[in-house]
Amino acid sequence: MPRKPTISPSKMTTYLACPTKYMWTYIDSRGKWYLRSKSYYSFGTSLHSVLQRFHDSGDKGVTTTAEAVAALEESWVQAGYESQEQMMQALGEGKEIVEKYVEESLAAPVTAKTLFVEKMFRRDLGSFVLIGRVDRIDEREGGDIDIVDYKSGRSGVNEDDLRNDLAMSAYQLILQEHFPGRKIWATIIALRADSRASVSFSTEELEQFKQDMMALAIEILDRDWENHVPVAKSLCSKCDFLPLCNKHPEFHLDSE
């Protein structure tokens, strides 16, 4: 029996931004040769690595602010920066972020227990499997489950942001099956702004999201990618895949 296709929040958000970008990223292998490193991705990956270690009960190497800063230096991803000066400036900012985060976390009362860090979850939805890698899963006092996601690029976050966040909605839908009968929360921590927000969808809200998401997933999976024609969009000028699209006779950047 053939394996079911997988759909993830990243795949869906990429498709919604540009179906052609989705094709070059997930369907056509030529796309991988055109991908370029991004400084914002390297920055986020570096911070995530430190926070993963800090919250991992099995990792005793990051338990203080000094150890967090040292861990950031050790795991720092240099790819994608335009200059050494830009990279060092980002490293300095990263040190401030992890130092403040760890300091505040150690001073705050313990109200939750971390169950998982950087964990992949799956939920079979019939014609496909919904997957998602979660930064952290906590169990709150009282038994509620909290999905925690770090954002290194956001200037702030509120409940409306969470309600409109496709990934956090998908994570709640997945975890609903893994923790039946438990209330599921989604929390985004905006690291730069040192702010956070949480929201919990009702059963009805999750069911509506499930129906909308399944319709989108089927559209993606059933699309005729072999005969796909790239369409110009406002994001084309900064897209890694523009050289590939330019090779298509029906693609015209000025038609955007």
Residue with tokens 């979660």: 134
User: CA Rg, the chain, in Å?
Assistant: 20
Tens-digit pLDDT string for the chain (256 aa): 678 999 999 999 999 999 999 999 999 999 999 999 999 999 999 999 999 999 998 888 899 999 999 999 999 999 999 999 999 999 999 999 999 999 999 999 999 999 999 999 999 999 999 999 999 999 999 999 999 999 998 889 999 999 999 999 999 999 999 999 999 999 999 999 989 999 999 999 999 999 999 999 999 999 999 999 999 999 999 999 999 999 999 998 875 5
Q: What is the pTM for the complete model shown? A: 0.92
The pLDDT, as a whole number, for residue 255 is 56
User: Cα angle vertex 66, ends 60, 72, to 5°?
Assistant: 80
Spatial separation of the C-alpha atoms in residues 95 and 226, rounded to whole Å: 46
The answer to whether residues 222 and 236 touch, using CB atoms and an 8 Å cutoff, is: no
Nearest CA to 16 among 213, 188, 156, 202?
213
Helix H or strand E encompassing 52: helix 39-55
For residue 134, the SS3 value is strand
Nearest to 205 by CA among 213, 215, 194, 195: 213
**pLDDT value at position 252?**
87
CA atoms of 150 and 157, how far apart (whole Å): 11
- The reported pLDDT for the residue numbered 155 is 85
pLDDT at 256: 54
Take residue 223 and report the two structure tokens written for it: 């699309």
* Residue in the block written with tokens 């830009």: 86
Scan for tokens 């001073």, then name that residue: 107
